[in-house]
Amino acid sequence: MNQEKMNELKKWMASENIDLTYISDPGHIAYFSGYKSDPHERVLALFISLNHDPFLFTPALEVEDAEKSSWTYPVYGYLDSENPWEKIAQLIKKNGVPTKIATEKDALTVSRFDILTNYFPNSDFSASVTPVIEKLQLLKTSSEVTKLMEAGDWADVALEIGFKAIKEGAKEQEILAEIEYQLKRQGIRSMSFDTLVLTGKNAASPHGNPGNTAVAKQDLVLFDLGVVYNGYCSDVTRTVAYKEPTDFQKEIYSIVLEAQLKAMDAVKPGVTAGELDEVARGVISGYGYGDYFNHRLGHGIGTTVHEYPSLVTGNDLVIEEGMCFSIEPGIYIPEKVGVRIEDCLHVTKNGCEAFTKTPKELMIID
Amino acid sequence: MNQEKMNELKKWMASENIDLTYISDPGHIAYFSGYKSDPHERVLALFISLNHDPFLFTPALEVEDAEKSSWTYPVYGYLDSENPWEKIAQLIKKNGVPTKIATEKDALTVSRFDILTNYFPNSDFSASVTPVIEKLQLLKTSSEVTKLMEAGDWADVALEIGFKAIKEGAKEQEILAEIEYQLKRQGIRSMSFDTLVLTGKNAASPHGNPGNTAVAKQDLVLFDLGVVYNGYCSDVTRTVAYKEPTDFQKEIYSIVLEAQLKAMDAVKPGVTAGELDEVARGVISGYGYGDYFNHRLGHGIGTTVHEYPSLVTGNDLVIEEGMCFSIEPGIYIPEKVGVRIEDCLHVTKNGCEAFTKTPKELMIID
């Protein structure tokens, strides 16, 4: 449970005269309450009241687990045969009908919003808590940075396992199975996202699907992966060569590396998110490959793998100490080559520190 | 791509005078288009027009993959630095401003709904396509049943791997790592959900988290797992004993098994979803354990692991041939014992056929 962040949220509620905030995104519920769960189509909700105790609302079969978590306030459950909204409305009304209710408009579905507004026809639902949560999550505390560092250490371990699994004829799917197996045996419960191992031409698709393609001589092999550790995510990408690469592969690699290192060097308080994107894009465009870098430079990271801020052209957000995000330029030339290099980092007083330490000079596996 | 289902959707659109349907749920986009992707916070959308060609809208970095999929209509992309909604609005307006636009109100966020309605202030957005998709997905075609059968076969394989991995001192996390490793090496890309392996008291939490608990003598070990195969999901639960179980464990197991078998026997066209739940609940309540069966009997399965119908008390939905769902009663006595037995099945002319064949008599592993 994160009482400090709940208190900050309540400060905002007080300033906006909001009586009640309904948190619906499971990742955000975990962020405030400490209780993490994927409710699928069932209802999991956190209600934070300005003047009363907050409460968690979960499916009946999760109540016990929620009570065992770090959450110390009440937990209420509902059976599959009950109407959860009826129960929620009753629980809220115990403390009177709220005048203003904030919801997560970027996470809540239209149906659930409509149901809730029908129970409180005279309440004002105009406020969205989404930007407030984004801002709360934007600046990480030192304990959050420590957790992101630990998650990063596990990503480095994962890469090491992956590099060792590369050999002639090894399939993408086999290499990723090896990575996840070793990690899960060591207690890692979840990856941050589906592990990517893409070899040769397949790496030219930034979000490709690993399959039965086997590693062959002069392939570049791209790993993009991360783990969830203590509720915090890591995300790292490395591209390595199997056997001596061609000059063209080396050239593309060196351009991406230059872009990644220059963007990392440019990270410090005061620069804008858009300027960082421009640094990397400028390097790649300077060599004539701008059209092949078809995604933003990076994204925030924390309890979720993609969060605020977005490092994209035109984003004027000013970078501050404590922000955590990825720097991940790439060049993808269809049917030819794909290279991406990515680290996530936290912004320090004068620069930044990466969460992942795996070397970035082109590694050649023999 | 599923042209047949798109045509059925268009019949509904014609009957409701709806010009355009916006599909936003990635699973439903895959269902109609054949292109599956997790866009995270980016925008992935499918627009089905009554009188014009449908189109897919994806992040720029996915356009190539989408074009390579079974989708044969246009694919449009947007860069991270572009406003996707501006582009979407332009693409829609090429064919004129729609009078009525249907959206997936159970999947679409309030923010995105608000953005879209702002671009089309004079269009009618009252229709929700959610119930229509639920109905389309409810009755599976024979080719869908075949895919569910195949996914079920893989779930049986997974259980066999898991049973073999049980030995004194084996940790939950190690057993599940072994299962996923063997499957991924054989080309399974994703599990339907986080694999559950829970031993002893841990199994008494229906949605518990596997961890470092080791299997000990007289533990019941619960496996709940499934795979995604050719876009279709499986979901199965078995509970097995390590070493000779106690009489109490055997009693609880036999009650759950009786409930599961009786409910399976009751499945046939004409019965209601609620009645099936009552059959299983009646068995368990008859033995005095009704309070410990704290979830519904089952859920639909298809391209997603939890879909329509819900087998829950009071649901009057009449079961028809071609429906596919789980039958999964359980008894969970905190700190003591947890047993669940689950098969997914399809309804046949006179009864049903399960997708998973792993025996259900209590297996004792020595």
Cβ-proximal residues to B28 (8 Å cutoff; 6+ apart), any chain: B46, B104, B107, B133
Q: In chain B, which residues have their Cβ closer than 8 Å to the Cβ of A106?
A: 109-111
**Same domain assignment for residues B197 and B281:** yes
To test the contact with chain B by mutation, choose from A85, A126, A134, A184 the residue with the greatest count of B C-beta atoms within 10 A, namely A184
* Of the candidate ranges A350-359, B24-33, B111-120, the one whose mean pLDDT is the lowest: B24-33
Q: Of A40, A184, A294, which is closest to B180 when you measure between CB atoms?
A: A184
Whether B273 contacts B296, CB under 8 Å: no
Tell me the C-alpha distance between B235 and B305, whole Å. Answer: 7
- Max mean pLDDT range (A255-259, B172-176, B310-314): A255-259
CA angle A172, A177, A178 (to 5 degrees): 100
Q: How far is CA A326 from CA A224, A301, A356, B176, in A?
A: 12, 7, 11, 31
Q: Hey, which residues does B242 pair with through a beta bridge?
A: B219, B365
Q: Per the domain annotation, does B362 fall within a domain? A: no
pLDDT at B41 over 90: no
Question: Phi/psi of residue B118, each to 5°?
Answer: -65, -30
Query: Helix or strand or coil: residue A279?
Result: helix
Q: Is residue B360 part of a domain?
A: no
Indicate the residue among A120, A137, A154 that finishes a domain: A137
Are residues A61 and A205 both part of a single domain? Answer: no
Average pLDDT over chain B, rounded to an integer:
95
Residues A68 and A200 in one domain: no
Of the partner residues A176, A208, A313, the one whose CB lies closest to the CB of residue B184: A176
Whether B323 maps to a domain, the answer reads yes
Backbone angles phi, psi at B237, to 5 degrees: -130, 135
Give the C-alpha distances (Å, rounded to integers) separating B61 from A172, A276, A280, B64, B172.
21, 20, 17, 7, 38
Residue A65, in any domain of the structure: yes
> Do A85 and A158 belong together in one domain?
no
Residues A109 and A206 grouped into a single domain: no
Per-residue confidence (pLDDT) for residue B187, from 0 to 100:
85
Average pLDDT over residues B319-346: 97
Task: Compute the nearest-CA separation of A88 from chain B (Å).
Answer: 18
The residues, any chain, with a CB within 8 Å of residue A323's CB and separated by 6 or more, are A138, A139, A140, A300, A309, A346, A347
A:B CB pairs within 8 Å: 147
B106·A107 Cβ contact <8 A: no
Across A294-308, A317-331, B263-277, B322-336, least confident range: A294-308
Which residues of chain B does A312 touch, with a Cβ-Cβ cutoff of 8 Å?
A: 80-81
Let me know how long chain A is: 366
pLDDT score, position A118? 97
Does B97 contact A at CB distance below 8 Å? no
- Where do the H-state alpha helices sit in chain A? 3-15, 26-33, 63-68, 84-93, 110-119, 130-138, 142-165, 172-185, 247-266, 273-286
Q: State the DSSP H helix or E strand holding residue B165, giving kind and residue range, or none if neither.
A: helix B142-165
* Domain shared by A100 and A163, yes or no: no
Query: Is residue B342 within 8 angstroms of chain A, CB to CB?
Result: no
Q: Which residue, B173, B85, B71, B185, is CA-closest to A188?
A: B173
My answer on whether A116 and A9 are in the same domain is yes
Number of domains within chain B: 2
* 3-class SS string, A186-228: CCCCEECCCCEEEEHHHHHCCCCCCCCCECCCCEEEEEEECEE
* pLDDT band of A307, cuts 50, 70, 90: confident
Q: Does B41 touch chain A (CB under 8 A)?
A: yes
What distance in Å separates the CA atoms of residue B2 and residue B137, rounded to the nearest whole number?
12
Is residue B363 one of the residues assigned to a domain? no
User: Residue B281 in contact with residue B313, Cβ under 8 Å?
Assistant: yes
pLDDT of A94-104, one tens digit each? Answer: 999 999 999 99
The CATH number linked to A34 is 3.40.350.10
Where a domain ends, among A137, A166, A195? A137
Please enumerate in sequence order all residues whose Cβ is within 8 A of that of B84, keeping only pairs 6 or more positions apart, or say none.
B42, B43, B57, B78
- Residue B357, φ and ψ in degrees, nearest 5: -120, 0
Mean pLDDT of A213-218: 95
B310 belongs to a structural domain: yes
Same domain, B174 and B231: yes
Torsion angle, CA of A242/A243/A248/A249, rounded to 10 degrees?
20
Among candidate residues B137, B155, B172, the one where a domain is terminated: B137
Q: Does residue B361 fall inside a structural domain?
A: no
If asked whether residues B124 and B147 sit together in one domain, one would say no
Shortest distance, CA B195 to any CA of chain A (angstroms): 10
Q: B131 and B39 in one domain?
A: yes
Does one domain contain both A153 and A20?
A: no
Chain A residues in contact with B195 by the CB 8 A cut-off are: none
| Residue bearing tokens 């996840």 | A180
Instruction: Give pLDDT tens digits for A167-200.
Output: 999 999 999 999 999 999 888 988 999 899 999 9
> Which CATH number covers residue A171?
3.90.230.10
Domain that includes residue A290, residue range: 139-354
Q: Is the pLDDT of residue B301 over 90?
A: yes
The answer, for A37 touching chain B at a CB cutoff of 8 Å, is yes
Q: Model pTM?
A: 0.83
For residues B18 and B155, state if they share a domain.
no
